Structure 1
């Protein structure tokens, strides 16, 4: 450090400001986490795909069928007592 010219010293100090110390694996993990967070933000900010009316109608029909099946199943077993 003592043998460095003022320009070299300034360049070295600037380099130190922009480069965090620590193990390579920790820096790589932090970089990967930043990239993952950026991708998640992009995915969440993108407009969601519109669901077609036919898909909504089909899902509502399936829900109604399952509710009817559940209602029938609970009616059949209600009067049998604890030992069914």
Structure 2
């Protein structure tokens, strides 16, 4: 079942729920579906680790990008 995250009130579907939904729609058992989803995420990780972009038209794009570092304060002492 999807859960609601308090910070943005968005529904979040976890891996188990995703596996159940995909299995039901594809007519596959849960073990097979779990293997497919694990293989998919492994391939995406490997491709972006090699600095490749993974693009599924109509769904999404995965890639690495540089993000500037930020200064943070210690919650204990307030120091940066």
Question: Which structure shows the higher strand fraction?
Answer: 2
Question: Which structure shows the higher helix fraction?
Answer: 1
Q: Same fold (TM over 0.5)?
A: no
TM-score (norm: length of structure 1) = 0.33
